[in-house]
Amino acid sequence: MTDITPEKDSKESALFLIHILTASGAPIALIALLAGAQGKWGEMFAWLGLALVVDGIDGPLARKFNVAERLPRWSGASLDFVIDYATYVFLPAFALSASGMLGQPWNWICGGLVVFTGALYFADNGMKTPDGSFKGFPAVWNMVIFGLMVLSPSQAFTIFFVLFCCVLTFLPIRFSHPVRVKRWRAVTLPITFVWLGLAGVAVSHGMVLEGMAASVFTAASLYLFSVSAVQQFLERYL
């Protein structure tokens, strides 16, 4: 006798679609890589943006339907880590190294440090804090490298900022998740949407923002980068 009924089997097959959604990030990453290999950086980051949307959908769905317990054979967390490392770390490091943002040998040094520190971060079981924040820079290199490419700062600043983020990976400084962290979410979430909207404008204009759009994009980037550190400071000293 078995407790597997056609109805249960049908439900589990439907739940597996969530894993398929997560795994779709792999071919998206490949297409992004092919675009980047042709120097089509805007197209590459557009695909990475699609991967970001997929990543924002699959996790809540998996938690809502308790996929981890209902489909124990398949590890959604492991699958998610594989896809996230490719789209959040490896491909942005490729863009940093191959786009001409940095000259040699800094493109190799910075790109290598990005993939190295990102790999260590993804292996950290203590990366998440009880409030939903990340402890240390959460390897969101897709957003950092994209922002640096759009705003086109000097090479010295780009090198400094990349090294700074690499160091922050291992420091006990919080970084906010715009959806999971409740504190200031009413402000953080709209600013996130503003950032994403301007990112779309930048992609459609050849990875360039000018004037007020560039200023708002910079301000939104600084807010998202530092909001949890500010909250942490206020909690400790005020």
- Are the C-beta atoms of residues 66 and 110 closer than 8 Å to each other? no
Q: What pLDDT digit, counting tens, does each position of 135-178 carry?
A: 999 999 999 999 999 999 999 999 999 999 999 999 999 998 88
- The answer to whether residue 1 sits within a structural domain is no
Q: What pLDDT digit, counting tens, does each position of 5-55 carry?
A: 545 555 667 788 888 888 999 999 999 999 999 999 999 999 999 999 888
Q: Which two tokens stand for residue 8?
A: 């249960």
Q: What pLDDT digit, counting tens, does each position of 183-223 carry?
A: 999 999 999 999 999 999 999 999 999 999 999 999 999 99
- The answer to whether residue 131 sits within a structural domain is yes
DSSP class of 177: -
Percent of the chain with pLDDT over 90: 68
Q: What pLDDT digit, counting tens, does each position of 86-108 carry?
A: 999 999 999 999 999 999 999 99
- The answer to whether residue 108 sits within a structural domain is yes
- The answer to whether residue 60 sits within a structural domain is yes
Gap between the Cα atoms of 99 and 93, Å rounded: 10
Cα–chain center distance at 180: 14
Integer CA distances (angstroms), 161 to 18, 168, 183, in order = 36, 10, 27
Q: What is the pLDDT of residue 1?
A: 44
Integer CA distances (angstroms), 114 to 51, 129, 133, 143, 172, in order = 19, 23, 21, 13, 19
Gap between the Cα atoms of 71 and 74, Å rounded: 6
- Residue 103 lies in domain: 6-237
**In total, how many domains does the chain have?**
1
